[in-house]
Amino acid sequence: MDLKKLTADLEAKNPAQPLYIQAAKEVLETIVDFVNENPKYDKYAIVERILEPERIIKFKVTWVDDKGNIQINRGYRVQHNMAIGPYKGGIRFHKSVTEDTMKFLAFEQTFKNSLTTLPMGGGKGGSDFDQTGKSEGEVMRFCQAFMTELQKYIGPETDVPAGDIGVGGREIGFMYGQYKRLRGEHVGVLTGKGLEWGGSLIRPEATGFGSVYFLEGMLAAKKDKLAGKRVALSGFGNVAWGAALKLTELGAKVVAISGPDGAIVDEEGINTPEKINYMNELNQTRNNVVAPFADKFKSAKFFPGKKSWETKVDIAMPCAIQNELNGDDAALLIKNGVKYVVEVSNMGCTADAVTALQKAKVSFAPGKAANAGGVATSGLEMSQNAMKLSWSAKEVDEKLNGIMNSIHANCVKYGTEKDGYINYVKGANIAGFIKVAEAMIAQGVAY
């Protein structure tokens, strides 16, 4: 493959889509040598084909607010690649959502889902709907209007959405109810469902737990241990919550979290059920701020407008949104002696941050490997739905742990460099690529 030409084409074909270009470039740059060593991938134009989503669905969502006014939002579903299984991936409701956001997330999802070992293709959906200040009735009507259109394109064997930023158990419930109402079917068309109606134990914790299982692999590869390590997290949603729970259980100390309004630093550790659950409570009140954390807990200090990355830590785990950790943040973390950076948000680090961390030989895990526990457990929810039974928390957690170990092993297999440094970005991209590419070759092209 000709990296220069492919990159130029990518940029020309996707004008004004910087996130998609960033995500795709990172993959191209890390798989180029591997692809060139295996000419069959060029023969079947696999890379060029993976760069084009199979389908982009874009629709209007109209709904009525509490005052009786008609509101208009944009809805999307990008069905990126179905080679290894039905499209699978979350739905994001956030004011920043554009076609570009959806394309980059769906692209990442294809590689991530391939890494999970489960048969799931890649997709992503969402809307620019902003929950801030909306009543429960407004959220419900929006979710129903969104699903009224989306249901035309999804199904348990074709495309199975789930949650993401702004879409938790409540929104999944409202969307599932509308799907059921319109289609008259109680099927596994969404994951992240409530436990009483087809959901899986451990799904809420899975992304955070999985990222810590992956981190344990990174530590073990360096003959290091988690106990006693200082950790900074960003975000205070479901993902950061699950990570804080597991980190604390395994003896690490979470000293920082953050929100759009600033950072919370707590030298005593965010380590009691009361503190950890309050993160979730703050998130669920949907005011989008962490400042009240410092009012509630005396040991916590609030730094307005600051990020978690200014705190001296051994481990940094961005858990909020894309490009939340930039080159300056990486330089500061490196200066303060960070050893591990685990991207738990999708593409949480800018390209220059990743380059700086790798250059400093910091152990860096990309989101598509480290956060795959969420979608992997969604895959386990699909299995339980298909078998019409439910597994115990222990069974699901063990399977999740096994999947994260296998992703780690695959990253080591394809990402270890001559000097022994594990390039997890390269490892994850090559391992994710192989499975999808082989399936595409096997399934042929339509003439």
Residue among 41 and 213 whose Cβ is closer to ligand GLU: 213
Residue 343 interacts with ligand GLU (CB under 6 A): yes or no: no
| Binds ligand GLU by CB under 6 A, chosen from 21, 26, 75, 88 | 88
Q: How far is CA 431 from CA 34, 369, 414, in A?
A: 10, 10, 7
How near is the Cβ of 346 to ligand GLU at its closest, in Å?
Answer: 5
How near is the Cβ of 166 to ligand GLU at its closest, in Å?
Answer: 11
Residue among 109 and 271 whose Cβ is closer to ligand GLU: 109
Residue 97 interacts with ligand GLU (CB under 6 A): yes or no: no
- Which stretch in 11-19, 219-227, 372-380, 405-413 sits in contact with ligand GLU by CB under 6 A? 372-380
Which position's Cβ is nearest ligand GLU? 90
Residue 346 interacts with ligand GLU (CB under 6 A): yes or no: yes
Write 183-189 long-range contacts (CB < 8 A, 24+): 183/151, 187/155, 187/156, 187/385, 188/156, 188/160, 188/381, 188/382, 188/385, 188/386, 189/154, 189/155, 189/156, 189/160, 189/161
Is 372 in contact with 346 (CB distance < 8 Å)? no
How near is the Cβ of 396 to ligand GLU at its closest, in Å?
Answer: 13
40 a catalytic residue: no
How near is the Cβ of 164 to ligand GLU at its closest, in Å?
Answer: 4
Q: 165: how many CB neighbours lie within 10 A of its CB?
A: 24
Q: Which of 88, 103, 112, 124 is catalytic?
A: 124
Residue 202 interacts with ligand GLU (CB under 6 A): yes or no: no
Residue 378 interacts with ligand GLU (CB under 6 A): yes or no: yes
Dist CA 406 CA 213 (whole Å): 11
Residue 375 interacts with ligand GLU (CB under 6 A): yes or no: yes
| Binds ligand GLU by CB under 6 A, chosen from 242, 374, 415, 432 | 374
| Binds ligand GLU by CB under 6 A, chosen from 75, 86, 90, 122 | 90
Dist CA 23 CA 268 (whole Å): 37
How near is the Cβ of 298 to ligand GLU at its closest, in Å?
Answer: 35
Residue 205 interacts with ligand GLU (CB under 6 A): yes or no: no
- Which stretch in 14-22, 54-62, 84-92, 286-294 sits in contact with ligand GLU by CB under 6 A? 84-92
Dist CA 125 CA 358 (whole Å): 31
Dist CA 183 CA 174 (whole Å): 14
Residue among 190 and 313 whose Cβ is closer to ligand GLU: 190
Residue 162 interacts with ligand GLU (CB under 6 A): yes or no: yes
Give contact residues for ligand GLU (rule: CB under 6 A). 88-90, 162, 164, 191, 346, 374-375, 378
Q: Which amino acids are annotated catalytic? A: 124
